Amino acid sequence: MAAIPTLAPLLAPARLLCGRHACGREPLDALLAWGLKPSSGLATRLAAQRQLPLWRCEDGFIRSLGLGPDAPPLSLVVDDLGIYYDATRPSALERWIATPLSAAEGARARALRRLWCEQRVSKYNGAPESPAPQGRFVLVVDQTAGDLSIRCGLADAAAFGRMLREALQQHPGVTVVVKVHPDVAAGRKRGHFRAAELQDPRLCICADGGHPTALLERAEAVFVVTSQLGFEALLWGKPVHCYGMPFYAGWGLTHDALPPPERRAVHRPGLDQLVHAALVAYGRCIDPHHQLPCTPEMLIAALGLQVSQRRRWPRAIEAFGFKPWKQPILRRFLAGAELRFRRRHAQPGSGSSAMAIWGCEPGRRLASFLEQCPATEVLHLEDGFLRSVGLGANLIDPISWVVDQSGMYYDARRASDLETFLSHHRFSAADRARGAAVRRSIVDAAITKYNLPALPWRRPPDQGRVVLVPGQVEGDASIRFGAVDVHTNVDLLQAVRRAEPQAWLLYKPHPDVVAGLRRAGADEEQATRWCDEVVVGGSLEALYGQVDALHVLTSLSGFEALLRGVEVHTWGLPFFAGWGLTHDRHACPRRGRKLELDELAFGALVAYPSYVSRFSGLFITAEQAIEELLAWRREPPRPLSLRRRIFRHWGRLREWFALDL
């Protein structure tokens, strides 16, 4: 118990004391034991000797992302009477189940049931979903041999054989799926079914250790002894047959093979009471990112996000050309997939279901392989639009990346996942409201892609129209694949000067160029010939509020300015052009749908990127990412590590020596 890192925050505000000496020095309010494990016997004796209450704790009903010590519990139940799986005596959970609910509590329980199913969560949430068979089926759930909940649930090993036989008898002509426990599937423990019992041709053995939601969603009925999957099946609205006496049996909500204890038989609670008791009244939850107390709704949503994000990726992925400092980042953003890292120009191997590359240009051998196997799935990765506090060229880890399975948002040669979404998604009122809220949060908090500190800039007095031209790194793929007839910063300045001869023209070089991390563009030192002022140290965020318009080639600053209501002119084909929100010099035939600004914001900031927490390494929402960026910006700047100092000039070295590694 002392080795569980989340135990103390789950018990808060109680303070946890560990060890004989610590417990001997201070007065105690209670002793803590883990369920009915053998170690709880000592706690029971000590509680009697010291006349202290004994609390028994166990994993909560929505525990964690994965199994075992690598995924410590995020929810806990604490019982001062017994423990929920022990039907031989009362528990605090039984007391809560028998307690009537208010109208608000009933509504909350119903909302929790809907949320559980919408988010497709279970007790453990790290594995891919076990596929449900075609056609009609019922589900039979095995458990690990020796599980305390079996004996304490008034059952034995023989109950599993009876359960399987009756499932076959009661559902003739229907497939019977036997779900093997994940620990049994992994070879760590034994189950209850012998090979001789599994010979019926109607049996389908599910031994992949997978997530059970697809099976629970489609099963006609669920058969359990004492497994928690019986409770989850009730949440999914399925008939449940119990061959033991788990906490959810004996109340009239399940088909029970055993008579219920008298203390349960006198009550007939509804499903809402069971759900509220188990998930709200009995359990304690912490959020997975900061380990602070949270509601079960927040934990379900957080784990549901992990489930939905992990479901997006193929199981086995070969990743080409990712440098050592990017590999841990890739593992976070493609969590749940098995990654195999290869050099950029390596020959693709066998056994992978997809390839991952940075940007949109594969290495030579991968390009040749894709020509021969065009159906191969390729994941294109790039920085998201709310990246970090600090430059990516300084190897500052990102808080967002995009993973595009069609192309890349800056590559106008073909449709990206973002363009397809913006072209065809049917935006709901909720989508637009969320896009508006995210946009307002970004504007109010002055969030940009890199969130760099900078000196303020003041608009010249008595000037009429003030126009900003942001510079770009000319070797970037966004120019190579998004420009049409203007390709350099100086060419753009000249074009804008011709278009707006009377305006006060500002030019702001790209921050990577200013920092010396990337090479300046062709003739960029002559920018002063074509503009009225070069702003080197000014903050882009401060400039947005003081200029009348932006002219961009493909720069993301045009999107940031749009979010702030600034007039934007595009000279290339960036992702935000062509939707009726910008003044465009060129048209993209694939685009033409008129979007509202909040629809563009929803697509580009909520639906398209993946966000990962700096604290937990788990997926977070766009709203949580904004909160983390604000907290990050308030932190004092940290000196660059040796690794970052060595590799921060990698981009410039590649430009100078035309490296293609």
Residue 568: which CATH number?
A: 3.40.50
Could you report the per-residue pLDDT of 251-260, keeping only the tens digit for each? 999 999 999 9
- The whole-angstrom separation of Cα 32 and Cα 159 is 32
Q: How far is CA 392 from CA 323, 388, 418, 477, 647, in A?
A: 14, 8, 22, 15, 11
- The whole-angstrom separation of Cα 434 and Cα 487 is 36
> Is there a cis peptide before residue 246, judged by omega within 30 degrees of 0?
no
- Residue 642 is predicted with a pLDDT of 61
Using CA atoms in the order 432, 436, 438, 442, what is the torsion angle rounded to 10 degrees?
Answer: 150
Cβ within 8 Å of residue 151, ≥6 positions away? none
Question: Is the pLDDT assigned to residue 660 strictly greater than 50?
Answer: no
Q: Please give the model's pTM, rounded to 2 decimal places.
A: 0.91
- The whole-angstrom separation of Cα 608 and Cα 415 is 14
Q: What angle do CA 379, 382, 387 make, to 5 degrees?
A: 140
In a domain, 287, yes or no: no
The arithmetic mean of pLDDT across residues 621-632, rounded, is: 96
Sheet with 283-286, strands from edge to edge, namely 31-34, 54-59, 75-79, 283-286, 293-294
Could you report the per-residue pLDDT of 111-170, keeping only the tens digit for each? 999 999 999 999 999 999 999 999 999 999 999 999 999 999 999 999 999 999 999 999
Q: Where does the pLDDT of residue 542 fall: very low under 50, low under 70, confident under 90, or very high at 90 and above?
A: confident
The arithmetic mean of pLDDT across residues 233-250, rounded, is: 98
* Type and span of the H or E element at 430: helix 429-444
- Residue 521 is predicted with a pLDDT of 84
In a domain, 630, yes or no: yes
* Identity of residue 60: G
In a domain, 224, yes or no: no
Average pLDDT over the chain reads 92
> Strand, helix or coil at 506?
strand
Could you report the per-residue pLDDT of 350-371, keeping only the tens digit for each? 878 899 999 999 999 999 999 9
Q: Which of 302, 273, 308, 307 is nearest to 288 (CA)?
A: 302
Where in 359-513 does DSSP place strands (E)? Answer: 377-383, 400-404, 466-470, 504-508
In a domain, 547, yes or no: yes
The arithmetic mean of pLDDT across residues 344-352, rounded, is: 88
**Contact assessment for residue 346 and residue 365, using Cβ atoms and an 8 Å cutoff:** yes
Dihedral of alpha carbons 493, 497, 500, 503, sign:
positive
In a domain, 489, yes or no: yes
Q: Where are the alpha helices (DSSP H) in 12-63?
A: 20-25, 40-50
**Contact assessment for residue 496 and residue 551, using Cβ atoms and an 8 Å cutoff:** yes
Q: In angstroms, how far is CA 522 from the centroid of its own chain?
A: 42
In a domain, 343, yes or no: no
Question: Domain of 620?
Answer: 429-644
Longest dimension (CA), the chain: 92
Place of tokens 């809560």: 96
- Residue 661 is predicted with a pLDDT of 43
Q: Where are the alpha helices (DSSP H) in 129-248?
A: 148-152, 158-170, 182-185, 213-218, 229-235
**Burial annotation 77-107 (CB, 10 A radius, 16+ → b, else e):** bbbebbbbbbbeeebbbbbbbbeebeeebbe
**Contact assessment for residue 462 and residue 544, using Cβ atoms and an 8 Å cutoff:** no
Question: Is the pLDDT assigned to residue 545 strictly greater than 70?
Answer: yes
> Strand, helix or coil at 357?
strand
Q: In angstroms, how far is CA 158 from the centroid of its own chain?
A: 41
- Residue 218 is predicted with a pLDDT of 98
More confident residue, 517 or 219: 219
DSSP assignments along 433-450, one per residue = HHHHHHHHHHHHTT--SS
Question: How many domains is the chain built from?
Answer: 1
Could you report the per-residue pLDDT of 445-459, keeping only the tens digit for each? 999 888 877 778 888
Half-sphere exposure of 88 (CA within 13 A, CB side): 9
Where in 188-345 does DSSP place strands (E)? Answer: 203-206, 222-224, 240-242, 255-256, 283-286, 293-294, 316-320, 338-342
Q: Minimum mean pLDDT among 124-133, 182-191, 199-208: which range?
A: 182-191
* Identity of residue 558: G
**Burial annotation 116-138 (CB, 10 A radius, 16+ → b, else e):** bbebbbbbbbbbbbbebeeeebb
More confident residue, 512 or 545: 545
**Burial annotation 16-44 (CB, 10 A radius, 16+ → b, else e):** eeeeeeeeeeeeeeebbbbbbeeebeebe
In a domain, 570, yes or no: yes
- The whole-angstrom separation of Cα 411 and Cα 482 is 6
* Type and span of the H or E element at 568: strand 567-570
In terms of DSSP bridges, do strands 240-242 and 255-256 run parallel, antiparallel, or are they unpaired?
parallel
446: left (phi over 0), alpha (psi -120 to 50) or beta: left
Half-sphere exposure of 77 (CA within 13 A, CB side): 24
* Surface-to-core class of residue 365, CB atoms within 10 Å of its CB (0-12 exposed, 13-18 middle, 19+ buried): middle
- Residue 452 is predicted with a pLDDT of 76
Q: Where does the pLDDT of residue 659 fall: very low under 50, low under 70, confident under 90, or very high at 90 and above?
A: very low
Q: Which of 613, 562, 614, 616 is nearest to 584 (CA)?
A: 562
Q: Which of 540, 547, 404 is nearest to 477 (CA)?
A: 404
Rg of the Cα atoms in the chain: 30
In a domain, 541, yes or no: yes
- The whole-angstrom separation of Cα 189 and Cα 182 is 9
Place of tokens 């766009």: 622
Q: How far is CA 29 from CA 14, 75, 648, in A?
A: 9, 22, 55
Question: Is the pLDDT assigned to residue 654 strictly greater than 60?
Answer: no
Q: Where are the alpha helices (DSSP H) in 192-270?
A: 213-218, 229-235, 262-265
**Contact assessment for residue 154 and residue 87, using Cβ atoms and an 8 Å cutoff:** yes
**Contact assessment for residue 226 and residue 248, using Cβ atoms and an 8 Å cutoff:** no
- The whole-angstrom separation of Cα 333 and Cα 612 is 7
Could you report the per-residue pLDDT of 480-531, keeping only the tens digit for each? 999 999 999 999 999 999 999 999 999 999 888 887 778 888 888 889 999 9
